[in-house]
Structure 1
Amino acid sequence: MPSKMQKQKSTFIFLFCFLIQSFFTANSQSFIGVNYGQVADNLPPPEATVKLLKSTSIQKVRLYGADPAIIKALANTGIGIVIGASNGDIPALASDPNFAGQWVGSNVLAYYPASKIIVINVGNEVITSGDQALISQLLPAMQNVQNALNAASLGGKIKVSTVHSMAALSQSDPPSSGAFNPGLSDALKALLKFQSSNGSPFMINPYPFFAYQSDQRPETLAFCLFQPNAGRVDSGNGIKYMNMFDAQLEIGQIYHRVFILSIGFI
């Protein structure tokens, strides 16, 4: 079974992804979502999990893949679903538009609109993987998936994105000093130009647990877990952050400002 820390970490991931999902839009949206992972034992059946979700205020669910049983179980619930194409699918999606069309047909059209699919993530943490071949294939794969959605008249309804690691940053503490790794700038600019054109969300896995691992000051664990603490003042902007989530969300807002400027100069 996943540890308590792993479960908490997973929840943080999804919340952060969606709190900044309006990155390229004028109006921000905030709501509660969860990751629905399947790397565990003794998992309840999808129907039981969906029943639990419906009893809460959870409005979005992120799947790491496109499990048909889960997508079917979420039908007619109104819960937004984020599905994913694996890193292993990227080469075929990039090189073969027909494969992209088949993937969309099998994983989206077979369930939509009863199952409210709202985002397709193409790959996970690709640009920080070090796999140059895969990095070069990411954008063509996203474009082919977008084209397949457009052909099905879903281009404005389902967004195409990818999820990045916080390792895309060369600096993140304090938040006001946040900066991207210069070595990733070309790949990021091309992706952002595509996402800006299609109004798709910019998504990040923040992992407060890793922040704790690299900064084991006595108060860091409480800061990461929303427990009482003295907070931390950002010397650059004077803002006092009371938890790691708020600090990492602020970095997301900085991305917003920086990337809008970057796109303007591409």
Structure 2
Amino acid sequence: MASFKPRNTRASMAAMLLLLGLLVSQTEITVAQSIGVCYGRNGDNLLGAAEVVILYQSNRIGRMRIYDPNQETLNALRGSNIELILDVPLDNLRDLSDAAAANDWVQRNVVSFSPDVKFRYIAVGNEVSPSDQRAEFVLPAMTNVHNALAAAGLQGQIKVSTAVASSVLGTSSPPSDGSFSNTSSPFITPIINFLASNGAPLLANIYPYLSYTRDPINIGLDFALFTAPGVVVPDGQYSYQNLFDALVDSLYSALEKTGGANVNIVVSESGWPSEGGNAANVDNAGTYYRNLINHVTQGTPKRSGQAIETYLFAMFDENLKAAGVEQHFGLFLPNGQPKYQINFG
């Protein structure tokens, strides 16, 4: 190799610069493709959908989650190349347990916008509690939406799932002992079988902030903010330096115990409030978001090197939510000004 001499030094240099550019671009793409941002609209002072899409693009945010098939938003997304998680609202679950209604919903809200809008996942329900009377409709609605997508030839492009909270776990520490609670198991096990059969991920809302504030005596703030100087939780062959990884891997352990070893986890929400509660301030929130973005390309100890597709919660502060921390998860102020200095990719 050392004896090789290119005939054209200038051409060789150009080729090297092109290769370097491609490598840098690929690194940026890897980061950008790991990060999305949830776009909630529960405010009376927010930008219009077209302006929001421009804000995503100008900040190189390549993925979005919305919580209902808002037509203004879907139209604004046409041609944007932003990949989308579209939620089926809780109030629609019973209706979509009927196959004809599910087919109509998919035709109106997905097929009529595809391929101009890049749908990635349909989230059938968000954090449905197993004790909720609507829980019985989640899997039938998922099945019907999947079948409707298949009938439209979109089953290979768009996966159907549901978003769960970490409260579905009965045991979470250490992560290798992670298992679903006795209450959750009858609800979640058939859903996991559906996901495994269709190559779909489990969507999970992961909030170290909530875990920390519920138990600040036993959970250190640095463990929740990715700033712990060393291992906090040793767990056999794995070791944990941050709470986010511990929560995700607890879910992976629960999946493995329930026939879902091949099911990946997509973190469909994760965030930290800037005010309104314990440890809720701009410094902590900015630290959490920046560290999370930098971390997700690495994977968790159980899935090392496998980037974690993660959606930050949320794009804006939403003033119509319940008073307290719920109003202060925004990465941006309602007028589009950034709350933190963050590079999304």
Q: TM-score, normalised by structure 1?
A: 0.78
Task: Give 1:229's aligned amino acid.
Answer: A
Quickly say closer, same or farther: Cα 1:40–1:221, change in 2 above 3 A: farther
1:44 to 27, 44, 47: 47
In 2, distance between residues paired with 1:137 and 1:256?
A: 21
Aligned to 2:229, the other structure's residue is in SS state coil
In 1, distance between residues paired with 2:147 and 2:241?
A: 43
> How much does 1:216 deviate?
0.9
> How much does 1:159 deviate?
1.0
- In terms of fraction of residues, the more helix-rich structure is 1
**Partner residue in 2 for 1:116:** 118
How do 1:82-93 residues align onto structure 2 when only pairs under 5 Å count?
82-93=85-96
1:61 correspondence with 2:64: yes
Q: TM-score, normalised by structure 2?
A: 0.61
Greater CA radius of gyration, 1 or 2? 2
Aligned to 2:122, the other structure's residue is in SS state strand
Judge which range, 113-122 or 67-76, deviates more: 67-76
How do 1:32-181 residues align onto structure 2 when only pairs under 5 Å count?
32-94=35-97, 96-126=98-128, 128-131=129-132, 133-181=133-181
CA displacement 1:17-64 (0-9 Å, x = unmatched): xxxxxxxxxxxx960111111123421122222112112342211111
> How much does 1:76 deviate?
1.3
Task: Give 2:256's aligned amino acid.
Answer: R
Contact 1:100 1:148 in 2 (8 A): yes
In 1, distance between residues paired with 2:261 and 2:238?
A: 25
> How much does 1:219 deviate?
6.7
Task: Give 1:46's aligned amino acid.
Answer: A
- Give the count of matched residue pairs: 231
Between the two proteins, what is the percent identity of the paired residues? 35
Unaligned runs of 5+ in 1: 1-28
> How much does 1:160 deviate?
0.9
Task: Give 1:191's aligned amino acid.
Answer: I
Task: Give 2:225's aligned amino acid.
Answer: L
> How much does 1:253 deviate?
3.4
In 1, distance between residues paired with 2:142 and 2:260?
A: 23
In 1, distance between residues paired with 2:210 and 2:244?
A: 12
Aligned-pair RMSD on alpha carbons?
2.3
CA displacement 1:174-228 (0-9 Å, x = unmatched): 32222210232232221111111211110111222210122213872333233x3
> How much does 1:156 deviate?
1.5
Task: Give 2:205's aligned amino acid.
Answer: N
Judge which range, 34-43 or 106-115, deviates more: 34-43
In 1, distance between residues paired with 2:35 and 2:183?
A: 33
> How much does 1:262 deviate?
7.5
In 1, distance between residues paired with 2:257 and 2:60?
A: 33
**Partner residue in 2 for 1:19:** none
